[in-house]
Amino acid sequence: MRALLRGIPLVALALALFLVLPVSASAAPAPTTIPAPADLPPYSPAYQPQGTDERGLWMWADEDERELRDSKFVINDPALQSYVASVLCRAVGQDRCRGVRIYLVRVAAFNANMSPNGTMQVWSGLLLRVRSEAELAAILGHEFAHFELRHSLAGFRKARTMTDIAAWMAFLGQYGATAQQAAIGSIYQFSREQEKQADLLSLKYAIQSPFSAQAAAHVWQRLMDEADATALGRKQRSRRYDRVAFFSTHPTPLDRATYLADLSADAAAKPEGAESYSAALAKWLPEFLSDQLKLNDFGGTEYLLSSLAGEHWTAPLLFARAELYRQRGNPRDLVAAADFYRSALAADPEMAEGWRGLGLCLMRDRQQAEGAAALKNYIRLRPQAADISMLQTMTGE
């Protein structure tokens, strides 16, 4: 061992040991109590970037916002944007939310983020998965906590320092590679601690807000269940109970759901706002469901639809479920899909796309006469549709 150590450059060894040794903040367990609302840090809405690093980071964020503003993926719906902004303001307070610019982005994945210049992105996959104003507030509050704690700046500085060290270590050969990996690992270990800090601050927001503090844990529980359903559908193993991987930037979902539930267990019960959230999303629900269907994720989508429906399957949810089964297209799937289409049409006979899907499903299942009758209803309701000529040929017209 001594001979081995003599072969390692002393600087490399010192850096490797420094980076590998646990940092007290990173090793600290999740807190067991939520500080009172009075513990919220003072906030200055007129904050301006300080120093060269932060000014450079803001310049980068401003350029990114200019590109985002003109993106075709941005949802230009002032009513929905105003609604999401109102949820954020009620979650973190009017003084904090005043300078935030929210962009709703049509991407079928669960994500939201906030840039250091006050730009917040909320993806449509997140809007589809949360069930209430309280759950949306929990996620937006978490992202705002990253902003208020200036994690982007801390991460920028640490990443720059660590990548410089890692690049230098590449010249040190075999043992330099070990220290290089330790340097890279240090970046991601710090990010996991930032996630816990943001979780804690977002729970403080929730306590002083009109929303339930328990909502955050509910979101993570369902995300784990959906991930399990996706894995099962693809014949993969669940990652629900996995330890944090070396390059992971977040706590494991199980760890996160557990400590969020424990921290909020004693918080006062408050309204969830499920009905108002459902009403605000109603216009876009069919579009977001359509995007979800394009992900080719039968197990996860089936779970998501069932979760959204609960004990009440609405016409849009039934239609999406029918489309899901028709697209997979096993013989038994076509039978199930036809039943789902009929249920959707019973709830909404004027749903033109439902008649189209039913007709195509029945035609594929060799029920020509009934399929043609369903397609004729679609043609009647959508006489100017782009696929009318094709469908008229299928019906013999």
Closest CA to 352 of 388, 325, 326, 324: 388
Report residue 351 as tokens.
Answer: 């749903």
DSSP state at residue 74: B
* DSSP, residue by residue, 262-325: HHHTTSPP----HHHHHHHHTTTHHHHHHHHHTT--HHHHHHHHHHHHTT---HHHHHHHHHHH
Four-way CATH pick for 284-395: 3.30.390.50, 3.40.710.10, 2.60.40.1930, 1.25.40.10: 1.25.40.10
Strand arrangement of the beta sheet that strand 101-105 belongs to: 101-105, 119-123, 112-114
CA of 226: how far to CAs of 94, 215, 248, in Å? 34, 17, 19
Q: Alpha-carbon distance 21 to 36, whole Å?
A: 33
Q: What is the pTM of this model?
A: 0.76
Torsion of CA 193, 196, 200, 201, to 10 degrees: 60
**The two three-digit tokens of residue 259, written as one number:** 């400590």
N-to-C CA span, the chain: 86
pLDDT tens-place values along the chain, 397 residues long: 444 344 434 333 333 333 333 333 333 445 555 554 446 666 655 455 555 655 555 566 667 788 888 889 999 999 999 999 999 999 999 988 888 999 999 999 999 988 878 889 999 999 999 999 999 999 999 999 888 887 655 544 444 443 443 343 444 444 344 333 333 333 333 367 788 888 888 888 888 889 988 888 888 889 889 999 999 999 888 766 554 443 345 556 677 677 677 766 666 677 789 999 999 999 999 999 999 999 999 999 999 999 999 989 999 999 999 999 999 999 999 999 999 999 999 999 999 999 999 999 999 999 999 999 999 999 999 999 999 899 888 888 7
What is the tens place of the pLDDT at every residue in 335-383? 999 999 999 999 999 999 999 999 999 999 999 999 999 999 999 999 9
CA distances from 251 to 220, 254, 293, 298 (A): 11, 8, 28, 27
Q: Where are the beta strands (DSSP E) in 106-213?
A: 112-114, 119-123
Helix or strand run (H / E) with residue 260: helix 253-264
Q: Which two tokens stand for residue 371?
A: 């399929």
The pair of structure tokens assigned to 248 is: 């992971």
β-sheet bridge partners, residue 119? 101
What does the pLDDT look like over 138-169, one tens digit per residue?
A: 999 999 988 888 765 554 444 444 344 334 34
Contact 381, 355 (CB under 8 A): yes
Q: Tokens at residue 245, please? A: 């991987």
Give kind and range of the element (H or E) at residue 76: none
The Cα 33–Cα 35 span in angstroms is: 6
The residue ranges of every structural domain in the chain are: 2-264, 284-395
Residue 150: closest CA among 98, 115, 187: 115
DSSP string, 30-73: PPSSPPPGGGSPP--TT----HHHHHHHHHHHHHHHHHHHT-TT
Query: What is the full DSSP assignment across 194-222?
Result: HHHHHHHHHHHHHHHSSS-TTHHHHHHHH
Task: Decide if 29 contacts 189 (C-beta within 8 A).
Answer: no
DSSP 119: E
Angle at 135 between CA 126 and CA 90, to 5 degrees: 110
Query: What does the block give as tokens for 83?
Result: 């609604």
pLDDT at 379: 94
Report the pLDDT value the prediction gives residue 251, as an integer from 0 to 100. Answer: 58
